[in-house]
Chain A
Amino acid sequence: MKEITNFRFRIARICRISYFRKIPVLPLLFLTLLVITSAFPSYLAPHDPNEQSLGRRFLPPCWQEGGNKNYYFGTDNLGRDLLSRMIYGSRVSLLVALLSLILGGLIGTTVGLISGFYGGRTDTILMRLADSTMAFPIILFAFLMSVSLGPSMKTVVIAVGIVIWARFARIIRGEVLSLKERDFIKLARVAGCSTFRIIVAHIFPNVVNTLVVLLTLQVGWVIIVEASLSFLGAGIPLPTAAWGSMIAEGRQYIVRAWWVITIPGAFLMLTVLSFNWLGDWLRDLLDPKLRPL
């Protein structure tokens, strides 16, 4: 009796909690798989993503006739295996998202904390600056940067970071403004805490909830932006595999090889969908005030 109840009991409990807490299991599973595959691409990708073979051009996915189980999702116009390219491409997308969110998040949170806490003229100036950068059309701005600095991962990360920090700053500042008046902050002041300590040890931990939700909500958007930039030629340059540029390359062969466009795009959509779903769930859990976003 004991062995049966132990294992099945645990599984049942996980299912029950997932159901009642409405944990989005599907996106979580998908994203975990994605992160693992993108972290160890050389072990998991069946082929070298840049290995060309003109004899193997336009192999259809394995479930169609003419398909080859070795090249699961088929090959593109240069005979490169689509699955391997997608695995390496996922790495690019996730890396860009991570780096630009770290950049934008760091700058934005710092500005938000300072601006909200000190108020007055600092606040006005910083928020004016934030408003100025918030409404830049990101793609055009990234175009500009890629023409002057050359298209690369660094350019994309900087461009996204510049547009995104203001969103973080504005919302964190709002949180700080409402936290500032709370009693425990006043008590900390009375107790003799330096301003730095108050901000870092007292205000920031209360802001983390909102920060985490914001980060997860923005990931999907950043991934779409990176893919769009790669598609347009202003993002990660060829021949590095990136989902957007794979779709751009396959554009000329829409009719002949529909899988070159459809499959990477489908995975892109699933990834962004998973992040958005997860982000929505986290937001409802941690900070429902952000619902309009």
Chain B
Amino acid sequence: MVSLLFGRFLQAIVTLFVLAVIVFFLSRLSGDPIELILPVDATMADRQVLRSTLGLDRPLTEQFFLFLKGAIGGDFGTSIRERKPALDLVLSRFPASIKLASFAMGVAILIAFPLAVLGAVNKNGSIDIIARIVGVLGQSVPSFWSGLLLIIIFAGHFKILPAAGTGGWSHYLLPGFTLGWFVVAGMMRLLRSSLLEVLDSEYIKLARIKGVSEFKVVCKHALRNSLIPVVTFGGVYFAALISTAVVVETVFAWPGLGRLAYDAIGFRDFPVIQAVVLFAAFLVVISSLLVDILYAVLDPRIRIGPKTM
């Protein structure tokens, strides 16, 4: 198992490196970064000074190594708009995003799990039909639209929930639901189909014959085995969560990383976008690693390794 984790760790490094290469080359493709920073009436001498300060007159590979060194050290350049180090901006917005994401994940698990379990157990029953509708709708409705609809209904028409910003716990509700909606659909479909497969297997039949209570059969035996595919997709869901968070935070004016990226796009603030993308990739990679560890914990076959099977 250690070798497996080491392999995953290497994988993580490779991912970050590939992304760093892409980010670096994209940044150089967008034309002269000097033009973005300096005011229009800067003289040629000013340009030359800035160019050598930023190291833009050195060969490309050397620039890349400087960029890498800076990135590892935490220096992603200075925000063009706010003149603060880009990483500081990113880190200051990070807690807000995490709070929203955790709320959304909590909501998603609370809704998806019971729906999936009850749906799979009572296949084609009324709950199953509701579950399948939720699943299909959740993957078909774009999050910005559902967010806006929720605002129209709950904040505009009924006026019971705030439309935007942070404040009390009530501010979490609308954005949290919008963010969690997509995850609910995916997770529920996956868990339900996985559970249906597991419930058909031999050892479940054996447990039933042995007289184990249906509740225990489903919750203890079937559920544990059906969680494995869900966990496997965990890393992909996390990336989807980050993507959706950008949209949701923009719609609800939530002061998180997504909003930061959106504002940066408006101002073409490249260092900030660079920092957000790399930071997000870092988060995704870490979460994938954690998911792989969790996978090994859940499935003893992974722990022991293929040879002893």
The answer to whether the Cβ of B154 comes within 8 Å of any Cβ in the partner chain is: no
Among B96-104, B241-249, B293-301, which stretch is in contact with chain A? B241-249
Q: Closest residue to B274 on the A side, CB-wise?
A: A144
The reply to whether A276 and B136 form a contact with Cβ atoms under 8 Å apart is: yes
The reply to whether B18 and A133 form a contact with Cβ atoms under 8 Å apart is: yes
What is the number of contacts between chain A and chain B, taking CB atoms within 8 Å?
150
Complex CA–CA separation, A269 to B239 (angstroms): 22
The answer to whether the Cβ of B26 comes within 8 Å of any Cβ in the partner chain is: yes
The reply to whether B239 and A129 form a contact with Cβ atoms under 8 Å apart is: no
The answer to whether the Cβ of A138 comes within 8 Å of any Cβ in the partner chain is: yes
The residue that A258 contacts in the complex, of B30, B152, B264, with Cβ under 8 A, is: B152
The reply to whether B14 and A132 form a contact with Cβ atoms under 8 Å apart is: yes
Provide the A125-137 mask, 1 if CB < 8 A to any CB of B, else 0.
0001101111111
User: Closest Cβ of chain B: how far from A93's Cβ, in Å?
Assistant: 11
The answer to whether the Cβ of B149 comes within 8 Å of any Cβ in the partner chain is: yes
Provide the A257-272 mask, 1 if CB < 8 A to any CB of B, else 0.
0100110010011001
In the complex with contacts A136-B19, A148-B26, A233-B266, A244-B144 CB distance below 8 A: yes
Complex CA–CA separation, A227 to B142 (angstroms): 8
The answer to whether the Cβ of B217 comes within 8 Å of any Cβ in the partner chain is: no
Provide the B130-167 mask, 1 if CB < 8 A to any CB of A, else 0.
00000011011111110011011000100000000000
A255 contacts across to B, CB distance below 8 A:
156
Interface residues of A, count at CB 8 A: 48
The reply to whether A220 and B140 form a contact with Cβ atoms under 8 Å apart is: yes
Q: Closest residue to A230 on the B side, CB-wise?
A: B144
User: Closest Cβ of chain B: how far from A288's Cβ, in Å?
Assistant: 10
The answer to whether the Cβ of B170 comes within 8 Å of any Cβ in the partner chain is: no
Apart from A137-B242, A231-B142, A247-B148: 20 A-B pairs, beta carbons within 8 A: A132-B14, A132-B18, A135-B284, A135-B288, A137-B280, A139-B242, A140-B277, A140-B280, A148-B30, A227-B144, A228-B143, A248-B144, A254-B152, A254-B156, A262-B149, A269-B142, A269-B145, A273-B136, A276-B140, A292-B194
The reply to whether A265 and B270 form a contact with Cβ atoms under 8 Å apart is: no
The reply to whether B29 and A135 form a contact with Cβ atoms under 8 Å apart is: no
Q: Which of B192-232 contact A (CB under 8 A)?
A: 193-194, 229
The answer to whether the Cβ of A106 comes within 8 Å of any Cβ in the partner chain is: no
Q: Closest residue to B232 on the A side, CB-wise?
A: A292
The reply to whether B148 and A228 form a contact with Cβ atoms under 8 Å apart is: no
Q: Closest residue to A145 on the B side, CB-wise?
A: B26
The reply to whether A140 and B246 form a contact with Cβ atoms under 8 Å apart is: yes
The answer to whether the Cβ of B67 comes within 8 Å of any Cβ in the partner chain is: no
A-B contact pairs, 28 of them (CB 8 A): A131-B15, A132-B14, A133-B18, A135-B285, A136-B239, A139-B246, A140-B242, A143-B264, A144-B273, A146-B265, A147-B270, A148-B30, A148-B270, A220-B140, A227-B142, A228-B247, A231-B247, A244-B142, A251-B148, A251-B251, A254-B151, A261-B148, A268-B142, A269-B145, A276-B140, A291-B193, A292-B229, A292-B233
The reply to whether B15 and A132 form a contact with Cβ atoms under 8 Å apart is: yes
Complex CA–CA separation, A232 to B145 (angstroms): 12
A141 contacts across to B, CB distance below 8 A:
277
The reply to whether B247 and A232 form a contact with Cβ atoms under 8 Å apart is: yes
In the complex with contacts A144-B23, A255-B156, A292-B151 CB distance below 8 A: no
B193 contacts across to A, CB distance below 8 A:
291-292
Q: Closest residue to B240 on the A side, CB-wise?
A: A137
The answer to whether the Cβ of B175 comes within 8 Å of any Cβ in the partner chain is: no
A131 contacts across to B, CB distance below 8 A:
11, 15
Q: Closest residue to A276 on the B side, CB-wise?
A: B140
Q: Which residues of A does B touch, CB under 8 Å?
A: 128-129, 131-141, 143-149, 220-221, 224-225, 227-228, 231-234, 244, 247-248, 251, 254-255, 258, 261-262, 265, 268-269, 272-273, 276-277, 291-292
The reply to whether B148 and A254 form a contact with Cβ atoms under 8 Å apart is: yes
Q: Closest residue to B283 on the A side, CB-wise?
A: A137
Complex CA–CA separation, A148 to B27 (angstroms): 6
Q: Which of B12-45 contact A (CB under 8 A)?
A: 14-15, 18-19, 23, 26-27, 29-30
User: Closest Cβ of chain B: how far from A109's Cβ, in Å?
Assistant: 20
B137 contacts across to A, CB distance below 8 A:
273
Complex CA–CA separation, A291 to B197 (angstroms): 11
The answer to whether the Cβ of B120 comes within 8 Å of any Cβ in the partner chain is: no
Complex CA–CA separation, A244 to B29 (angstroms): 27
| Most chain B beta-carbon neighbours within 10 Å: one of A136, A140, A255 | A140
User: Closest Cβ of chain A: how far from B32's Cβ, in Å?
Assistant: 12
The answer to whether the Cβ of B281 comes within 8 Å of any Cβ in the partner chain is: yes
The reply to whether A134 and B236 form a contact with Cβ atoms under 8 Å apart is: yes
In the complex with contacts A147-B265, A268-B142, A272-B140, A135-B15 CB distance below 8 A: yes
The answer to whether the Cβ of B261 comes within 8 Å of any Cβ in the partner chain is: yes
In the complex with contacts A129-B18, A232-B247, A269-B142, A137-B148 CB distance below 8 A: no
Q: Closest residue to B235 on the A side, CB-wise?
A: A135
B194 contacts across to A, CB distance below 8 A:
292
The residue that A143 contacts in the complex, of B141, B273, B285, with Cβ under 8 A, is: B273
The reply to whether A234 and B239 form a contact with Cβ atoms under 8 Å apart is: no
B11 contacts across to A, CB distance below 8 A:
128, 131-132
The reply to whether A269 and B140 form a contact with Cβ atoms under 8 Å apart is: yes
Complex CA–CA separation, A248 to B18 (angstroms): 33
A262 contacts across to B, CB distance below 8 A:
149, 152
Complex CA–CA separation, A103 to B277 (angstroms): 23
The reply to whether B262 and A232 form a contact with Cβ atoms under 8 Å apart is: yes
In the complex with contacts A148-B30, A232-B250, A137-B284 CB distance below 8 A: yes
Pairs of residues from A and B, 8 with the lowest C-beta to C-beta distance, nearest first: A148-B30, A265-B145, A132-B15, A139-B243, A137-B242, A273-B140, A148-B26, A272-B140
